[in-house]
Amino acid sequence: DAGVIQSPRHEVTEMGQEVTLRCKLISGHNSLFWYRQTMMRGLELLIYFNNNVPIDDSGMPEDRFSAKMPNASFSTLKIQPSEPRDSAVYFCASSLAGQGPYEQYFGPGTRLTVT
Partner 1 sequence: SQQGEEDPQALSIQEGENATMNCSYKTSINNLQWYRQNSGRGLVHLILIRSNEREKHSGRLRVTLDTSKKSSSLLITASRAADTASYFCATMMDSNYQLIWGAGTKLIIKP
**Residue closer to partner 1 (CB basis): 5 or 81:** 5
Binding test (CB under 8 A) with partner 1, winner from 43, 80, 113, 115: 43
Q: What residues numbered 65-94 form the site for partner 1, per CB under 8 A? A: 91, 93
Other beta carbons less than 10 A from residue 48's beta carbon: 21
49 binds partner 1 (CB under 8 A): no
| CA distance linking residue 100 with residue 72, whole number of Å | 19
Min CB(74)–partner 1 separation in Å: 18
Gyration radius of the chain over CA positions = 13
DSSP code of 8?
-
Q: Angle at the Cα of 74 (from 111 to 86), degrees rounded to 5?
A: 30
Contacts with partner 1, residue ranges (CB under 8 A): 4, 31, 33, 42-43, 45, 48, 50, 55-56, 91, 93, 95, 97-98, 101-109
